[in-house]
Each structure stands twice: as C-alpha cells, then as structure tokens.
Amino acid sequence: MLAVVPPPVTVRVPAKVNLHLAVSDLREDGYHELVTVFQALSLTDEVTVMATEEPGIEVYGEGEGSVPTGANNLAWRAAQALAAHVGKPGAEAKVRIVLRKGIPVAGGMAGGSADAAATLVGLASLWKLDVTRDELAELAAGLGSDVPFALYGGTALGTGRGEQLVPVLARHTFHWVLAFDQRGLSTPRVFGELDRLRAEGKPPRIGSHTPVVEALASGDPRQLALLLGNDLQAAAVSLRPGLRRTLRAGVNAGALAGTVSGSGPTCAFLCADAQSAVEVAAELSGAGVCRTVRVAHGPVPGARLVGGDDAP
C-alpha cells in the first residue's frame, strides 16, 4: 500500500521591533534582565515544512549565504524540540525546511527566532498534533527568548529575558520604515559592549515602559515617537558608528523618530502615516546610508499558516 505523503505546510511569521528595551546590569548568572515592548511587523519570513526522505534546510532571500543550514539553525532546533516533546524523537530526520527570508539576518529583528516559531506551527500542522499555542510557547521559550513573541505577534510587554509576555493594547496601525545595514551585528557582542560602556559610567538608561504602553493605547504615533527607547542603542552605535548617520537621515527624511531595533544594526523609523512612510523610504533609499529600505506596518499577528486558519 502507498503511504500518503501530507502536503507541504507554509507559515508566515513576523519580524519584531522593540519600541522600548530596558536592559538590567549583568546578573551573576551571565544574563541581563529585560523589560521590553515588542511590536510584530509586516516584514516576514515564510517557512515551508515538508515530509521527505531527504531532510535538511534550504535558505533563500535575505542573508541566504550566511544562515547555517545544519543542526545549529534555530528552525532545525525547533523541529528537534517539538519531535522530542510529542514523543517522536528523531522525527525531524524526515523533514525538509525551506526558509524564505525577508527579515535581515543578525539584524536585531529576531529573524532566527521567527523561523523557529514558524517551524513549530508548521510541524504541528504537518504532523497533525493536538497542541495549543500556549504549549508551543513553552517549548519556544526553551529555544530562545524572542521565540514566544514570534508565535503570538501583536504588541506585547516582555520581561525576564523577554520571554514572559503580556499583550499590550495598541490602537490603530503604526507605520514604519526599516533601514537594513550592510552587515549584521552579533547580539552577545552588543550586550558585551553595553557592559563595557556602563563600566565606564555611560550611557544614561531609558525610563519606565508605562508611557510607551499609554501611547500605544492612545494610537497617536507622535506621542509614541517621543518615547521610543533602547538601552542597546548606544552599544550598537559604538560598534557601528555609521548608524548615527542612518538615524539622523531617517528623521531628516521626515520620520517622527528613529531607533535601533533590538541589538541592531537595523534602524526602525516611526512615521506619521502610510503615505509618509512611503516618502521617508524613498528619500532614505537615496541617502546612501544603508543597504536596503523596507516599509512595514504593525502590529500584525504571529506565526500563521498561509492559506489556512487551523493553526494551533
């Protein structure tokens, strides 16, 4: 009898931008405590999972030459973790994962985490698993602190290492322009640079997240623009001084404000509306301060099946 091969499953998953990212001093266990407000953006990766006798990972699009295609790809680790969790250890050895990347690699927009979240959702569907999104989120937190947010999307307050999430009300859609840099930045290196700068007594820390949450509820981009803040920005700029010019160019082009996203080097510019975002993007592309410019909006939902609504 012929075995029935299930059709491939494709999942679309968003990038994140940090509207607020407060970083504690280095703890004894080597971690930094974070308080962050994430927003999921319409800049996405698409992840297809399929049953196969030829397992592996294929990567196309953003950073395709620099993403690992072996066991250290976060998507592969997600597949392994899910297989073990549902009592099918090794089941990932019969899966092929195709990543179509729109999210810049090592860009501070959690692209690897997004792919891991998408793989969990995709395989839950391919393997017809009876798992809830909350159950996937527990697995996700073990894979990386940004993975749970990529599952849920929207706008959320993250604490701990960023993996403990509470949804935040965001009224209206916010419009963004993203400036991708020539090369990525290593997240651990940026945290290390922040520790070094702090040991020298600088830079100042951002304040409480409460005003950001209030601005999101009001839906007023002008109010939110005044409050964007990221403790990692000074460290990212210290390692990549050209970002200062990029941030200035976005505001000169008409954005309300700009911030480094997460550990950078992607710069995110908040704009007054969709039309303004298109204009800022056009002007920024011509300014010669970055590799690529993209327009996006948020919040958008987390990892979702493409062409289906039965995702866990």
For ligand ATP, the closer of residues 125 and 263 by Cβ is 263
CA 194 to the chain's CA centroid: 20
Q: By CB under 6 A, how many residues form the interface with ligand ATP? A: 21
88 labelled catalytic:
no
22 is a site residue for ligand ATP (CB under 6 A): no
| 234: CB partners within 8 A, 6+ apart | 194, 197, 202, 203
218 is a site residue for ligand ATP (CB under 6 A): no
Least distance between ligand ATP and beta carbon 273 (Å): 27
17 is a site residue for ligand ATP (CB under 6 A): no
Q: Where are the beta strands (DSSP E) in 5-53?
A: 9-26, 32-51
Q: What share of the chain is helix, strand, coil (3-state, %, to 5)?
A: 35, 30, 35
148 is a site residue for ligand ATP (CB under 6 A): no
Active-site position among 45, 146, 181, 231: 146
223 is a site residue for ligand ATP (CB under 6 A): no
Cβ neighbours, 10 Å, residue 68: 13
16 labelled catalytic:
yes
Least distance between ligand ATP and beta carbon 218 (Å): 27
229 is a site residue for ligand ATP (CB under 6 A): no
| Cβ contact 159:35 at 8 Å | yes
Beta strand pairing call for 95-101 and 32-51: antiparallel
Cα–Cα distance, 17 to 40 (Å, whole number): 7
105 is a site residue for ligand ATP (CB under 6 A): yes
Active-site position among 16, 45, 115, 181: 16
Please give the residue ranges that form the binding site for ligand ATP (CB under 6 A).
Answer: 67-68, 73-75, 99, 105-113, 115, 146, 184, 187, 262-263
* Residues recognised as catalytic: 16, 146
